[in-house]
Amino acid sequence: MPLILVTNDDSINAKGVHELIRVLLKIGEVVCVCPEMPQSGMSMALTVNSPLMVKRLEDYHGAKMYKVNGTPVDCVKIAVDNLLERRPDIVVSGINHGSNAAINVVYSGTMGAAFEGCAYGIPSIGFSLTSHDENADFTPCLPVVENLVKLTLENGLPEGVCLNVNMPKGYAEYKGIRVVKGCKGRWDDHYVEYTDPARRPFYWLAGKYVNEEPENTNTDEWCLANGYVSVVPVLLERTYPNLSEFKWISDK
């Protein structure tokens, strides 16, 4: 039986992770280690200057359940380093309530956990549904999750690569699964300004995503707009490959 580590960024109370656990119990032994509090937008943040508390909860349909007062990366680290009796065969993060397509991959706590699994050399996948509804219908996602987790357990992933899987809301069934690149785009964001009761200003982030290549059919955003599941293989490595372009810097 494969050992499956489950985590997320929407917290142990989110519907998405409970749906995920139930489908993964068909494939293997499941241990779920999730943040106690929502951690959206936490990227690969980890807790270094304060301690973590871990609480074992009641089993859920046979899955062991823990909550941690930390980030998604903390959950993966403490699970692999302390809580699990053996190294997991796969790390599965999600199902996120909201898209992690395009540039969102860099901010996503869901994908932060997947990148951390990848840093351990464990095949890792983040799953997201493009709905922020806390009661979102994950039913169409479940066969996709089952299929991709089984395929990944069979095939493995290249070293340093994990998968960012996004699924569009509002479909009873998807048109297919496509391996594509993260769409080029940016957040056209701004801060809405408020005044607190003591007349001090405060600010809340708002904005909308601008797709900079809407005609490109080989992007995750295209898939999501057209009823397909997008799978973007993503790299943990950060070094730009063409170092020779920087001759103007080196003095040796």
Question: Residues 58 to 87: which contact a second copy by CB under 8 A?
Answer: 71, 73-74, 77-78, 81-82
Q: Residue 215, interface with a second copy (CB under 8 A)? A: no
Residue corresponding to tokens 């973590």: 52
* Residue from 2, 28, 140, 233 in contact with a second copy (CB under 8 A): 233
Q: How far is the CB of 22 from a second copy (least distance, A)?
A: 23
Q: Does 239 bind a second copy (CB under 8 A)?
A: yes
Instruction: List beta partners, residue 56.
Output: 66
Q: Site map for a second copy, 161-200, x if CB under 8 A?
A: x--x----------xxxxxxxx---x--xxx-xx-----x
Size of the site for a second copy (CB under 8 A): 76
DSSP-assigned states of every residue in 87-156: --SEEEEEEEES---GGGGGT-HHHHHHHHHHHTT--EEEEEES---TT---TTHHHHHHHHHHHHHHH-
Let me know: does 127 contact 162? Beta carbons within 8 Å: no
Stretch of residues binding a second copy (CB under 8 A), selected from 16-24, 88-96, 151-159, 209-217: 151-159
What is the per-residue burial (b if ≥16 Cβ within 10 Å, else e) of 2-40?
eebbbbbbbbbebbbbbbbbbbbbebbbbbbbbbbeebb
Find the binding residues for a second copy in span 5-24 (CB under 8 A).
none
Q: Name the one range near a second copy by CB under 8 A: 28-36, 88-96, 133-141, 240-248.
A: 240-248
What are the CA-CA distances from residue 22 to residues 61, 184, 185, 213 (Å)? 7, 34, 34, 37
Indicate the residue among 1 and 200 with the shorter CB distance to a second copy: 200
Check if the beta carbon of residue 212 is closer than 8 Å to that of residue 186: yes
| Burial class of residue 117, CB neighbours in 10 A (0-12, 13-18, 19+) | buried
Residue 92-121 contact track with a second copy, rule CB under 8 A, x = bound: -----------x-xxx----x--x---xx-
- Rank residues 62 and 162 by Cβ distance to a second copy and give the closer one: 162
Q: Residue 214 Cβ, how far from a second copy at the closest point, in Å?
A: 17
Q: Which stretch binds a second copy (CB under 8 A): 13-21, 85-93, 209-217, 231-239?
A: 231-239
Examine residue 57 and tell whether it contacts a second copy (CB under 8 A). Answer: no
Yes or no: say if 5 and 90 are a contact pair by the CB < 8 Å rule: yes
Q: Is 228 in the site for a second copy (CB under 8 A)?
A: yes
Contacting residue, 7, 8, 43, 93, with a second copy by CB under 8 A: 43
